[in-house]
Structure 1
């Protein structure tokens, strides 16, 4: 009788234990499924954390790229591949750390965020690096090594709105970007064509400011004077040395006089260089 009761109790315990194990397993599977769905949703929508800062540039809008410009604070920039990139201003952050100041705005430095861009350097495709452009606050496709904002997670979407920059019209749009502010070493280095493009952009900006334009013209004239003086001095000095060598070969007895003549020529060239420096200084300081 006792053995039957013991067997019955053991059977009940086994069944209860089996039920508990099944319940625990089901619970774990349910939690795992929900967590996976939650993570997938977060990844699809993009997640970012913003901190609040005072934005000096009052014309900045959500999605604009901001730089930290020392005494000027957080402002937009029209400098390509800016080394001062700080982050992206957004009005819809996933999570924001607020400051005591009510006027502070959320700025994202890490995470996924929609960035305002242009097609200044071509349309931005998924996987392209995004950097600053000549359009204030807007990004562009990075086509060379330099500082970048991050990596495009999708193709940029452009609208009908355009903006004028450096004599051309470019479309405005947005692109979802994974922020990672760093120096990116791309396969296309800074070439001579890009250097000329940068010089052209700098000259175009100076034309818009009369004072800067005048100063630019002075520097150009000073550079031309320096180049011309160097070319003339080098030409006559090289010719004098060549003729001196030939003269010494023909008349070794006149060696001392010939070397003295070359020395005077070198001295004259140095004096001409000093005079040129003085002329350049006067041109720049006028």
Structure 2
């Protein structure tokens, strides 16, 4: 008598032979993206559209280096969370992680593998990032644009501030200092004509000025103040003038060293 486990094995092997589509050997291309159903207030939403979030809700990204970017519309997600199973108006799957096809236009030239992608002025479309600022991720393929029409580009989502100046990245969902720096950095990029033309340089000059001011104030308040107290002490105690003079010279040298360090650091920030 054939045992029941053997019957089950025979049944599934037979099913796989007559119905190959049910076979576990069929390949499945999993790109690691997680998607959620969201309502987008804009119209003309396409597969690959870039989406941002504000107090008004989800909308198509329409400003360069937008730190409010949250994801990419993906009509064929690997995994979809929060779905009701009912097709509703203006509701789309939004990929927030993994690899996804994003619409990118020919604003800053052709793409190479590893190039950073950011949002653009075109609604829902990205562009190659050529300056420091908020990026949505990296291109995983080379694209040679033949016209200005947006094309789908495979992108590894990794939203953060890309900068040679900042010593940290500010990712989506960050709070506190990182989020403040993200908003501050973006406001410098888009706040005025000069910042619009060369935002990275504007930010670097401002940061360099802040560094110089802080080092000068620190140097003069700490070591310069000690040197002044040394002069007063010399008047009160002439016999200890030799020791006091040595202290004054040491504090003066330290003040100059701190000031020079600030100037060198500012120079590195501007020219890096």
TM-score, normalised with respect to structure 2: 0.48
Which protein shows a greater Rg? 1
Name the one with the larger helix percent: 1
